Structure 1
Amino acid sequence: MKFPIFIADAFTAKAFRGNPAAVCLLENKLDEDMHQKIAKEMNLSETAFIQKLHPTDNFTQSSCFGLRWFTPVSEVPLCGHATLASAAVLFHKIKNMNSTLTFVTLSGELKARREEDGIVLDLPLYPVHPQDFHEVEELIKTAIGDTLVQDIRYSPDTRKLLVRLSDTYNRSFLESLKVNTQNLPQVENTGKVKGLILTIKGEPDGQTQAFDFYSRYFTPWFGVAEDPVTGSAHTVLSSYWSQQLGKKTMHGRTACFQILKNLLNLKLVFLLICTIHLKM
């Protein structure tokens, strides 16, 4: 069986930068184990598989497709940058004629809309709940040692643990923090946690653009030590920081890229140049 595979660099205007994802266009169904074998061969944080839903569908004219995402070791329920990559391939490489695409996924229907300056994605917004420190103390200590923690929240929908570091820390501290991810799957093997978000409050206005929050994301449970830009993590970060700051418009930055402008209407605009807009 032959089918095209594209490599798309999200959140950048230059090749070999941003967050890459592989995109596979499937004319026919694959054997289940082939998805994982291909993702392992691609060896990127995510490989996306776009599947026709009906025999009469085609990638140029149809507007609704199945979409699945795989890391090199496992299928994941949601991936933002690989969804962006999938929409970009269909819109810009395959020349899909529709202005809006619908992807049927494990996280429900996700829509991608073409706009003049990018692509808008509809992603879910997941609530977070207070998490008792003692229940996750070993996980946190293993990951960041004695780093001061200000708040801990848990998202049962995504199985992500959000750890807010002390407000005394700044961006450079977060970016240079050495995080031990190698032992996390052994420390937390109950299945409750599948992703770790480290975040801090942003800094006040200065000579450069201010950010409301900074973050890094780790998911060794899915075989990815650190994912530089993660849409699924921002479905949790957006919920948390909107509550904490009382804001519906926010700017966020990952350790690697400025990627987010939040307007909590769950429309992520991937500009393909390192910026996302979340609108409510």
Structure 2
Amino acid sequence: MKIRQFQVDAFACRRFEGNPAAVCPLDSWLDDSLMQAIAAENNLSETAFFVPTGDRFALRWFTPLAEVDLCGHATLAAAHVLFEHLGYDKPAITFETRSGRLGVERKNNQLQMNFPAIKALPCTVPALLQQAIGLPIETLLVADDYLVVLDSEADLRRLQPDQNLLGQLDKRGIIVTARSEEHDFVSRFFAPKLGIPEDPVTGSAHCTLAPYWAEKLNKTRLRARQLSQRGGDIDCEIVVDRVILAGSAVTFMTGEISLDI
């Protein structure tokens, strides 16, 4: 059995930046254990699998260690593959996922994703988190992830968290963010318990970041950058209870997986 696979740099205008994701188009679902094994073999932060369902596509995402409920950059990568490689000629794609229906539209040389806004609520700082961060935490909120607000972009850039301690926390991951002079806000994302010490660019984190900064800055359109080693830009817009996340993608590699099943 052979499966086509694409590796796409998402939230990137050129190769070797943004967040690489693997994308596997399927005619029908493989066993969950096999999809997880493929994701572990790829050893990227996410591998996306999709199956056509009428005029839509069912989409799932796997880290090297686990399936996740929501992933932005691999959704962007899957849409890029459909538009650029598989001849999808409609202006928008609808994905059915564990986080509901997600839309992706081609517009102004970008792909615009329609995702749920995830509001984070204030909480007390766990001692383990404070120890792991090692810098003063200005504000802490929590939703699917912890949202740590630091005093400055300089603090965010020099942050070197204790990955072992982060992996012991009770949430999927840890978003760390700060105001920025060049952008509206900047961030980093850590999810060691999912096999992702630091994610290059995290679309799903911006479902929480965008509502937080929209309220703080009193604006609905925001320019964001994730400050990983690769880095990537995300344009965000709040529309009622949804977040529009826009970015570009570039194909790095196409290939074929051979399976003895």
TM-score, length basis structure 2: 0.89
2:148 corresponds to 1:163: yes
Classify 1:118/1:243 alpha carbon distance in 2 versus 1 (closer, same or farther; 3 Å): same
| Shift of residue 227, structure 1, vs aligned partner | 0.4
Q: Is the 8 A contact 1:123 1:267 kept in 2?
A: yes
| Shift of residue 249, structure 1, vs aligned partner | 2.1
Q: Is the 8 A contact 1:144 1:180 kept in 2?
A: yes
2:93 corresponds to 1:101: yes
| Shift of residue 12, structure 1, vs aligned partner | 2.1
Paired residue type of 1:82: A
Aligned to 2:128: 138
- For 1:34-113, list aligned pairs within 5 A: 34-53=34-53, 63-113=55-105
| Shift of residue 262, structure 1, vs aligned partner | 2.5
- For 1:116-131, list aligned pairs within 5 A: 116-131=108-123
Q: Which of 228, 231, 234 pairs up with 1:260? A: 234
SS in 2 for 1:240: helix
Aligned to 1:239: 211
| Shift of residue 3, structure 1, vs aligned partner | 1.5
Classify 1:247/1:263 alpha carbon distance in 2 versus 1 (closer, same or farther; 3 Å): same
SS in 2 for 1:264: strand
Q: Is the 8 A contact 2:177 2:187 kept in 1?
A: yes
Q: Is the 8 A contact 1:161 1:193 kept in 2?
A: yes
SS in 1 for 2:164: coil
SS in 2 for 1:197: strand
**Most deviating of 116-125 and 42-51:** 116-125
Q: Is the 8 A contact 1:197 1:233 kept in 2?
A: yes
SS in 2 for 1:12: coil
SS in 2 for 1:127: coil
Measure, in 1, the Cα distance between the counterparts of 2:107 and 2:124.
43
Measure, in 2, the Cα distance between the counterparts of 1:137 and 1:243.
27
Render the CA deviation track for 1:29-54: whole Å, top value 9, x for unaligned. Answer: 2112101000001110000001122x
Measure, in 1, the Cα distance between the counterparts of 2:214 and 2:82.
33
Q: Is the 8 A contact 1:182 1:225 kept in 2?
A: no
Aligned to 1:277: none
| Shift of residue 113, structure 1, vs aligned partner | 1.1
Q: Is the 8 A contact 1:84 1:119 kept in 2?
A: yes
TM-score, length basis structure 1: 0.83
Higher relative contact order (CA 8 A, sep 6+): 2
Paired residue type of 2:172: K
Render the CA deviation track for 1:173-227: whole Å, top value 9, x for unaligned. Answer: 31222111123223x2xxx411101111223xxxxxx322111000112110110
Paired residue type of 2:175: I
Aligned to 2:197: 225
Classify 1:269/1:184 alpha carbon distance in 2 versus 1 (closer, same or farther; 3 Å): closer
Normalized per residue, the structure richer in strand is 2
CA RMSD of aligned residues (A): 1.6
Aligned to 1:272: 249
2:167 corresponds to 1:193: no
Q: Is the 8 A contact 1:3 1:27 kept in 2?
A: no
| Shift of residue 116, structure 1, vs aligned partner | 4.1
Aligned to 2:223: 251
Measure, in 1, the Cα distance between the counterparts of 2:209 and 2:75.
18
- List, as ranges, runs of 4+ consecutive aligned residues in structure 1 with deviation greater than 6 Å: none
Structure 1 runs not aligned, ≥5 long: 58-62, 204-209, 274-280
Q: Is the 8 A contact 1:43 1:72 kept in 2?
A: yes
